[in-house]
């Protein structure tokens, strides 16, 4: 497996090199590049690597400018400190993403995912999507999120504004939106779909059952094994528990 690393932080470059070498000693790291310009120039002169590890925000632009200019037929794993909006967009077009700081277990899971994909599809089939649209969306900031919902009633529909929703709760394949006025509405969409449609600056997927509005968070308590319990206003009948793995992302979300 020939690997290219695109990362403008030297400590992260070194750490990734060491991790990749330790986990897959038979892989060959072809180069470590730190800018859009150098990456485009390198890819134009060399055969496509099998795998690219790429940071999103580089010193002279975003990495999607590279893929727009060169369109390498390579698998891509993104390494990022970028917000969840970008992460959600990249999931469709990449093998995986890793949030900094990179942990060995996270990298191993991404590599295992790549191994599984290689058995099913070729790199050209996986990465045949149009990087240009995503790059333009990032540069222009034109990402649009859901602002309202049409909720069915006994005799029709009623509109609720997304900003009025304190949290969304899923149980037995039914999704319920609870407003700040403590009114419950059954909505037609599953949480997995809504998670992609809601602004990640305002809403956070706490666990499989809950998406919560940042304005609804009233208190966060530590729980055992590094987990967190989130108290909301209005209060949820079910405990809202954030796993140890998600706790760091939740704290970062609150602290922006």
pLDDT recorded at residue 86: 53
pLDDT recorded at residue 137: 53
In whole numbers, what is the pLDDT of the chain averaged over residues? 84
pLDDT recorded at residue 143: 60
Q: Are residues 9 and 136 in the same domain?
A: yes
Q: Are residues 60 and 165 in the same domain?
A: no
Q: Are residues 20 and 87 in the same domain?
A: yes
Q: Are residues 136 and 152 in the same domain?
A: no
pLDDT recorded at residue 188: 86
- In 3D space, the residue among 67, 12, 66 whose CA is nearest the CA of residue 35 turns out to be 66
In tens, the pLDDT along 97-133 reads 778 888 888 888 888 888 877 665 543 444 444 455 5
Highest mean pLDDT of the ranges 57-66, 82-91, 93-102, 200-209: 200-209
Among 86, 121, 140, where does a domain finish?
140
**What is the C-alpha separation between 22 and 14, in angstroms, rounded?**
12
**What is the C-alpha separation between 20 and 87, in angstroms, rounded?**
22
Among 140, 173, 198, where does a domain finish?
140
pLDDT recorded at residue 140: 55
Q: Are residues 33 and 112 in the same domain?
A: yes
Region of poorest pLDDT, from 140-149, 158-167, 220-229 = 140-149
- At 85 the three-state DSSP class reads helix
Q: Are residues 79 and 162 in the same domain?
A: no
Q: Are residues 134 and 232 in the same domain?
A: no
Q: Are residues 123 and 175 in the same domain?
A: no
DSSP state of 169: E
**What is the C-alpha separation between 252 and 17, in angstroms, rounded?**
27
- Into how many domains does the chain fold? 2
Range of the domain at 130: 2-140
**More confident call, 83 vs 239:** 239
Q: Are residues 240 and 215 in the same domain?
A: yes
- Mean pLDDT in residue range 85-107: 67
Among 107, 140, 173, where does a domain finish?
140
């Amino acid at each position: 497996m020939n690997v290219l690393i695109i990362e403008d932080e030297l400590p992260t470059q070194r750490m990734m090199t060491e991790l990749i070498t330790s986990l897959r000693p038979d892989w060959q790291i072809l180069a470590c590049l730190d800018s859009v310009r150098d990456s485009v120039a390198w890819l134009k002169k060399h055969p496509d690597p099998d795998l690219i590890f790429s940071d999103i925000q580089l010193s002279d632009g975003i990495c999607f400018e590279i893929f727009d200019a060169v369109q390498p037929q390579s698998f891509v794993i993104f390494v990022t400190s970028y917000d969840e909006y970008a992460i959600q967009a990249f999931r469709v077009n990449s093998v995986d993403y890793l949030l900094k700081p990179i942990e060995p277990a996270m990298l191993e899971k991404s590599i295992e995912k790549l191994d599984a994909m290689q058995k099913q599809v070729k790199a050209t089939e996986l990465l045949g999507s149009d990087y240009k649209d995503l790059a333009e969306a990032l540069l222009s900031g034109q990402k649009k999120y859901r602002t309202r919902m049409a909720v069915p009633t006994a005799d029709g529909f009623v509109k609720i504004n997304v900003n009025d929703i304190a949290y969304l709760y899923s149980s037995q394949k039914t999704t319920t939106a609870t407003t700040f006025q403590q009114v419950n509405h059954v909505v037609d969409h599953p949480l997995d779909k809504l998670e992609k449609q809601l602004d990640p600056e305002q809403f956070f997927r706490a666990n499989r059952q809950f998406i919560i509005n940042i304005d609804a968070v009233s208190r966060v308590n530590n729980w055992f094994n590094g987990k967190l319990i989130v108290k909301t206003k209005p209060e949820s009948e079910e405990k809202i528990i954030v796993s140890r793995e998600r706790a760091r992302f939740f704290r970062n979300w609150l602290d922006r």
